[in-house]
Each structure stands twice: as structure tokens, then as C-alpha cells.
Amino acid sequence: NQVIHQYFDEKNTSGVLVIQTDKKINLYGNALSRANTEYVPASTFKMLNALIGLENQKTDINEIFKWKGEKRSFTAWEKDMTLGEAMKLSAVPVYQELARRIGLDLMQKEVKRIGFGNAEIGQQVDNFWLVGPLKVTPIQEVEFVSQLAHTQLPFSEKVQANVKNMLLLEESNGYKIFGKTGWAMDIKPQVGWLTGWVEQPDGK
């Protein structure tokens, strides 16, 4: 724990690293109370957004979301993208479009069905994960991705497999790292996330 604690200190920030092995959860860092503190999920919500959209046939993995030439926050987002490409680039506009297709009523129903965080999305369907009211704790995020990693969420196996493929960050020597970043930059203080899992050569 001291190494992780020191790392956060050196970066002049407060943070917690939550690691779940089987059913056991361990906490590391210099702000362990954050593990049970609610924060907006920011772009980590793209995982659930994609699951809901694919399960309810609001899109598919091959659809190209067109860029219409408007200025976007990052130039890397200024192009046509599939859902998977938008996941890797964390392209907010693509997932806002998907959220609008899903619609407020279905989105609220699905978020409650999954029991994600406080399950509150408010009245605006395309920014509740960026500025609230949706909030989730780091431990809840870990529990969510643990279910996804083991294909145990209440979505079809195919949909879960497709979303997992979108989340592959790195592969080396039989190890695979899956994950999703999040950065809530429109709130004070800002919040950063990296939520994911490691798949070992033995499949664990």
C-alpha cells in the first residue's frame, strides 16, 4: 500500500486503488475513504451505455456514427467512428447520440435494472453521467466490471462479449488488460477514473 500511497502523493493528488480478487476487495492509496464515496462515473458509463444500446438494438457494432463537421472538444473525435472506435477514443458525442436514441425512459429503466450506482439519471438523457445526478462508488464500479468480466450481467452473452472486445487496452505474454477511463472535467473538484480488469493466461 505504501508504494501506491507514495505514487498518489508524488502526483499531488488524492486517490484510491480498489482491487478485487475473487470476492476479496483490497484498498490502496492515500484516500481510502474514497472507495465508498459516490462520484459521477464520467466516461466509465460508456460501458453500460454500450450494453444498453446494443441489447435494445439502438445500434450495432458495425454502424458508423457520422461526424457532421462540427467542432468537438478534441480533434481526435472529429471523424466518423464505430461504437468500438468511439469507446477507445472516449468520444463523448457518439455516446451522447446513443443515449438520445435509447431515450430517457428506457435509460432510467435499464440503469435501475442493473442497479448501477445510485441509479438516478435525472431529466437530461445525454449528460447525467458527466455532471450528475448519476453517481457511483469505486467499489460499485469494481463490482460492475467484475460481473462484465465474467459475463454475469443481465445482458446477452453476445452483447457482453462485444463490449468486452471494445475495452481491450493491452495484451502481452498471455495477459490481457481491459478498461475504461473517465474524466469528469465539468465539475469541481474534477474526478478521474480507470476501471477495468486483468485476464491471466489461465483465464482467471
- Active site (catalytic) residues: 43
SS3 call for 32: helix
Chain position carrying cell 471494445 = 166
Helical axes 104-114 vs 46-55, angle rounded to 10°:
110
Do the Cβ atoms of 95 and 46 come closer than 8 Å? yes
Amino acid at 108: Q
DSSP 3-state percent helix, strand, coil across the chain (nearest 5):
40, 20, 40
